Amino acid sequence: MKAVRFHEFGGPEVLKYEDAPDPKPRKDQILVRVKACALNHLDLWVRKGLPGVKLPHINGSDVSGDIVEVGEYITDLKPGQRVLLAPMVYCGQCEHCIHGVQNMCRQFTVLGNGVDGGNCELITTARANVIPIPDELTYDEAASVPLVFLTAWHMLVGRAGVKPGDYVLVLGGGSGVGVAAIQIAKMHGAKVIATAGDETKLEQCRDLGAEYLINHYKQTISEEVKKITWKAGADIVFEHVGQATFEESVKSLKAGGKLVTCGATTGPEAKFDIRMLFAKQLSFLGSYMGTMGELHAVLKHIFRGALKPVVDKTFPLRDARAAHERLEARRHFGKVVLNP
């Protein structure tokens, strides 16, 4: 099969479109022909070098495609079915997995990080990770769903407990996870404040349901949030940008507010005044991916059309370098997708 692999860590130039061995499914696995694989910032970090990544490596967490072959132990799926893959790997046997919190499993990893991913023509996976998709959902749309919608759902619903009337500040509203967060918060009756770096992206955030918009290059986030909320502040801050925005994110919270974070795109070192943390009785919540139960919960809303994936641009698999460059330059709104 053809795959995009890298044999050394570095910039987009290390990505090589080349022949790779065809995967062979075990009796308890399914072989899928990849039709689309969406990019995430995780792909950039893995390409640059993360601990535990074995070379050569294939990126790609968000996969959709067609079933080619099913192992003999699997009886409820068949070749030809259109599917997406859960973007996670876990043991399925530990106490956490048995209790349905797979993202706490000690063997948990993200597809395309600790194991090879979907930037290729064929991929094998466990039955539990294969989810049939409706005909109305294109392969590109299906690939644009799993990681970001699961992450945003776990952050807002599972961790922060979003509820009607909450003011939710979504940092980086044009990102894949930001696009998901705006819609999920809105669906739960929250008032959404979205930030982005240009007016076009801000208008696209409005189209998704954000009532209030902040250009973070021209305006001070916390000052604008205070104006919007009559000086109270946001109930929830949806943070994934990291170092560049963290201080403003903390300042934007109301007394008793919650900051939930899943990432640090601009850097992991963040500072804040500890006195603000205890005096305002704030909650800082970490969030990592989500559970299989939460993935199925959010997919129900995707499949009925209440939540909509946003595809920014598609590239042939051989043009993975150009796709990485677009994502790294932050020129995208929604998901950048590769098509084998």
- Taking only the tens place, the pLDDT of each residue in 38-70 is 999 999 999 999 988 999 999 999 999 999 999
Whether 259 is in a domain gets the answer yes
Per-residue buried b or exposed e for 265-301, using 16+ beta carbons within 10 Å of the residue's own CB:
beeeebeeeeeeeeeeebebbebebbbbebbebbbeb
Residue 35 CB-density burial (10 A; 0-12 exposed, 13-18 middle, 19+ buried): buried
Instruction: Please check whether residues 120 and 49 belong to one and the same domain.
Output: yes
Q: Please tell me the total count of domains within the chain.
A: 2
Instruction: Please check whether residues 191 and 247 belong to one and the same domain.
Output: yes
Q: How confident is the model at residue 311 (pLDDT cuts 50, 70, 90)?
A: very high
For the four alpha carbons of 213, 201, 149 and 270, in that order, the dihedral sign comes to: negative
The residue type of 9 is F
pLDDT at residue 189 is higher than 90:
yes
Instruction: Please check whether residues 181 and 101 belong to one and the same domain.
Output: no
Q: Cβ atoms within 10 A of the Cβ of 39, count?
A: 30
Q: How confident is the model at residue 271 (pLDDT cuts 50, 70, 90)?
A: confident
Percent of the chain with pLDDT over 90: 97
Amino acid 44: pLDDT: 97
Instruction: Please check whether residues 166 and 266 belong to one and the same domain.
Output: yes
Amino acid 125: pLDDT: 97
Q: How far apart are CA 34 and CA 22, in angstroms?
A: 12
Q: Are strands 167-170 and 234-239 parallel, antiparallel or unpaired?
A: parallel
Residue 38 CB-density burial (10 A; 0-12 exposed, 13-18 middle, 19+ buried): buried
**pTM of the entire predicted model:** 0.97
pLDDT at residue 9 is higher than 90:
yes
Instruction: Please check whether residues 141 and 158 belong to one and the same domain.
Output: no
When the pLDDT of each residue in the chain is averaged and rounded to a whole number, the result is: 97
pLDDT at residue 76 is higher than 90:
yes
Across 130-137, average pLDDT: 98
Which structure tokens are listed for 140? 């590109």
Per DSSP, the three-state class of 11 is coil
pLDDT at residue 93 is higher than 90:
yes
Q: Which residue range forms the structural domain that includes residue 236? A: 149-286
Instruction: Please check whether residues 21 and 100 belong to one and the same domain.
Output: yes
Across 66-88, average pLDDT: 97
| CATH number where 229 lies | 3.90.180.10
Which structure tokens are listed for 337? 């997708």
Whether 300 is in a domain gets the answer no
Q: How confident is the model at residue 22 (pLDDT cuts 50, 70, 90)?
A: very high
Whether 46 is in a domain gets the answer yes
Q: How far apart are CA 287 and CA 114, in angstroms?
A: 19
Q: Are strands 253-261 and 234-239 parallel, antiparallel or unpaired?
A: parallel
Q: How far apart are CA 246 and CA 229, in angstroms?
A: 19
Per-residue buried b or exposed e for 183-214, using 16+ beta carbons within 10 Å of the residue's own CB:
bbbbbbebbbbbbbeeeebbebbbebbbebbb
- What are 248-264's pLDDT values in tens digits? 999 999 999 999 999 99
Instruction: Please check whether residues 132 and 155 belong to one and the same domain.
Output: no
Q: What is the gyration radius of the CA atoms in the chain, in angstroms?
A: 20
- What are 198-252's pLDDT values in tens digits? 999 999 999 999 999 999 999 999 999 999 999 999 999 999 999 999 999 999 9
Instruction: Please check whether residues 99 and 163 belong to one and the same domain.
Output: no
